[in-house]
Structure 1
Amino acid sequence: MTSLKRSRTRTLVLSCLPVAGTLLSAGASAQSSVTLYGVVDNAFAYVSNQKGHSNFYMSQGNLQASKFGLLGAEDLGAGTKAIFRLESGFNSLTGAQSSSGFIFNRQAYVGLSNDKYGTVTLGRQYTPYFQMVGALGPTGVLTGATGAHPGDLDALDTTLRLNNSVTYLSPNIAGLQVSAQYGLGGVPGSVANGSHFSAAFRYDYKPFSIAAGYVKLKDIATSQALGSYAVNSPVNSGYATARSAQLFAAAARYTHEDLMVGVNYSNVQYTPGSSSLFANEGAFNTYGVITTYRITPAVIVGAGYSYTQASKANGISDPARYHQISLEQTYSLSTRTTLYALEAYQHARGKTLVAAGSTGTSIRDAVAVVGDSQNTTPSSGPSQFVGMVGLRHAF
């Protein structure tokens, strides 16, 4: 290499050093992070009556839904972070997507978080109602597969997500947090059509926790903002054509050393519109109690009971009632791997309004449908038992 070429090369390297130093400094101050996480959960299951027949089969996503996700954050300084989450559910028995056509069917959002002012996120998200009340209710303590209220009609399990939504979560102030969410309907010429709203609060004080939440869903059958919550179980399928649905729930619990006890309540109301296939508002009230006890650091047992009653409406004078008992036992092999057993029994009485094809509804005997795992495979009669033994691994 000639002295002239060496001189030009040295000049080029020296001129690039300030740029490289600036990029390295910016990367160091940003402090970005991306975390891959997920759950794989499979079990053997027995159901006493699925549409008239007992069944022994393999079931997935029972203690927790099988899923994987990416959670990211970038420190922007002054207590502010840019955040995102992309979460996808899948069938861990077959590898299929949980929802056809959705890569990230569970959550997909981006936002800003500040230690002082709170967090704002945009995208497909769970409701504040679920995040705060559900965490203290039956599905936050017992799994939704067998612990959710019949058919999960009050959406305290993971069945309600809003597309096109903006959510605000306040910072934790002396144990109190509040949150509100609005889902845009996306209907040209009308901001309100197809939109949804949710708000909730949670307060923690020493061993006590309490939460309450509200959801208003509009245009259930056609809304672009409603990303989940299908009204399709035998408990509430007669109200699938509702103009709107209103959900309210509250939950509280007390923890003392290894023992936890809790209570919960929910009210669900379906309001008809001009094109609905029912005439009068239908309502469901559910009352529940839950408890868990840690026997050893690795062994926890839990139990819950719920009573659900429908209102007298749409020609029904003997409304449906559902009694459900749920049990859960877990053994932690490690911080990530858990063996579990689940048992639940439900008994139904009275009459309920169900969908009869696409053009009508009919009044029929209420049938049992345990938790959130048997919505498409209800009992053919008033009783149903579900038992599961499985393995969950989180990563």
Structure 2
Amino acid sequence: MNQKSKSVLFSLAAASVVAVPTYASAQSTVTLYGAIDEGLQYTSNVKGKSNIETTSGQDSGDRWGLKGTEDLGGGLKAVFQIENGFNLNTGALGNGGRIFGRQAYVGVQSDSLGTVTFGRQYDPLVDLLGPLTANGNWAGSLLSHVYDNDNTDNSIRVSNAVKFVSNKYAGFTFEGMYAFSNAAGGFANNRLYGLAGQYSSGAVTVAGAYLQVNGNATTNAGGAVSAADTNFTATRNQIYGGGINYALTSAATVGFVYTHTNLTNATGSEYFGDLANAANSLRFNNFEVNAKYQFTPAFYAGLMYTYTMAHYESNAGQSRPHWGNFGGMIDYNLTKRTDVYMQVAYQRASHTDSFAAPLGQAVLVGTDAPSSSLNQTAVLVSFRHLF
């Protein structure tokens, strides 16, 4: 799922949820919130056949959660958040069957410095760079970059994490995270660390981020990232990038994002399956342009295009596949908490060498499986309620 839930869901939920005091004191509160997003989706080619299906949580992943604070005095507060993800169509738990698989953390917030939290959390790249992309802000999974290779759609979920989020200083915010492997004698086996910064002032928002995962769940299932929490299986995953959003007017915003992903000893992905030959090195460069226009307070439209170039190296040879992703969305709010939206996504892959299969196939994030051809199209109409 994506980051729009943080930029849109939380802001709307804050105005609409019921805050329940945990004690008689008004200085301690617990808030219940959530999202229900249900749609009907057409995909042109799924393993050679078209498909029409109900789909859950494409734009705002279905979830409910609790978050709260307690005033500790001296400018300090205790904070916590637990968030469950589920599939509305089946009722099944998401995120590998975890009860609180989206988020589960506790920490301390300082009025003068920032917040330190411990537990399962979103990483700094998702928090600060993701919102400058279409899929991480106003759109959803269908408009993600190829295989969500740069994690802007939050495929990588992080456990065992310690995270610091600064207060905003003259428009600047930064975050840092370290997630432990929790393995005796294997400190670096499945650990994660990341940094991100964002500057926002007036019409301009600029962000940059770095994220690295060492090891994977095949050798340490209890580490920072599990098999259900990642986009690729590799011994190392490095991601970095930067982006900018600029408000041309109060209604029109344009953006550009560049990201680079470098995978070492990659064997496959949850999006396309196993590689025909393991990649000693698999690199992706993503270039996205996006635009959004708010026609009225209740109605907006957005467009994005991403060009992705990859460089695959293995003992069998080298290949340079590439993809073009185009997507659009319109959204109409029936009320402050309920909206209907439509998304259209199209991807075209390049021909690639057979030893690099299945990198030559098209596969949109948010569809069931890769296309049997170089092209894949998806159309989604969805109804969403935030509480």
Mapping for residues 136-151 of structure 1, pairs under 5 Å: 136-151=132-147
Cα deviations by residue, 1:315-363 (Å, 9 ceiling, x for unpaired): 454411110100000000111000100001110003278xxxxxxx854
**Higher percent of residues as strand:** 2
Mapping for residues 175-190 of structure 1, pairs under 5 Å: 175-190=171-186
| Aligned residues of 1:217 and 1:245 also touching (Cα < 8 A) | yes
Secondary structure class of the residue paired with 1:131: helix
The aligned amino acid for 2:351 is G
- Rate the CA distance shift 1:350–1:317 in 2: closer, same or farther, 3 A: farther
Partner residue in 2 for 1:34? 30
| TM-score under structure 2 length normalisation | 0.86
> In percent, how many aligned pairs have the same letter?
34
Partner residue in 1 for 2:219? 222
Q: Is residue 253 of structure 1 aligned with residue 245 of structure 2?
A: yes
Mapping for residues 138-177 of structure 1, pairs under 5 Å: 138-177=134-173
List runs of 5+ in structure 2 lacking aligned partners: 1-21, 267-274
Deviation, structure 1 residue 28: 5.4
Mapping for residues 231-250 of structure 1, pairs under 5 Å: 231=231, 240=233, 242-250=234-242
- Rate the CA distance shift 1:283–1:77 in 2: closer, same or farther, 3 A: same
* Separation (CA, whole Å) in 1 of partners of 2:65 and 2:120: 14
Mapping for residues 79-98 of structure 1, pairs under 5 Å: 79-98=75-94
List runs of 5+ in structure 1 lacking aligned partners: 1-25, 233-239, 354-360
* Separation (CA, whole Å) in 1 of partners of 2:42 and 2:241: 31
Cα deviations by residue, 1:28-58 (Å, 9 ceiling, x for unpaired): 5571100000000001110100110001111
* Separation (CA, whole Å) in 2 of partners of 1:30 and 1:191: 43
| Aligned residues of 2:112 and 2:167 also touching (Cα < 8 A) | yes
| Aligned residues of 2:291 and 2:303 also touching (Cα < 8 A) | yes
| Aligned residues of 2:351 and 2:374 also touching (Cα < 8 A) | no
Mapping for residues 41-80 of structure 1, pairs under 5 Å: 41-80=37-76
Partner residue in 2 for 1:103? 99
| Aligned residues of 1:301 and 1:329 also touching (Cα < 8 A) | yes
Deviation, structure 1 residue 394: 0.1
Deviation, structure 1 residue 95: 1.4
The aligned amino acid for 1:394 is L
Deviation, structure 1 residue 115: 1.2
* Separation (CA, whole Å) in 2 of partners of 1:388 and 1:278: 34
Q: Is residue 282 of structure 1 aligned with residue 278 of structure 2?
A: no
The aligned amino acid for 1:345 is Y
* Separation (CA, whole Å) in 1 of partners of 2:245 and 2:117: 28
* Separation (CA, whole Å) in 1 of partners of 2:189 and 2:344: 42
RMSD, aligned CA: 2.2
Partner residue in 2 for 1:268? 261
Secondary structure class of the residue paired with 2:278: coil
* Separation (CA, whole Å) in 2 of partners of 1:380 and 1:288: 25
- Rate the CA distance shift 1:323–1:32 in 2: closer, same or farther, 3 A: same
- State how many pairs are aligned: 352
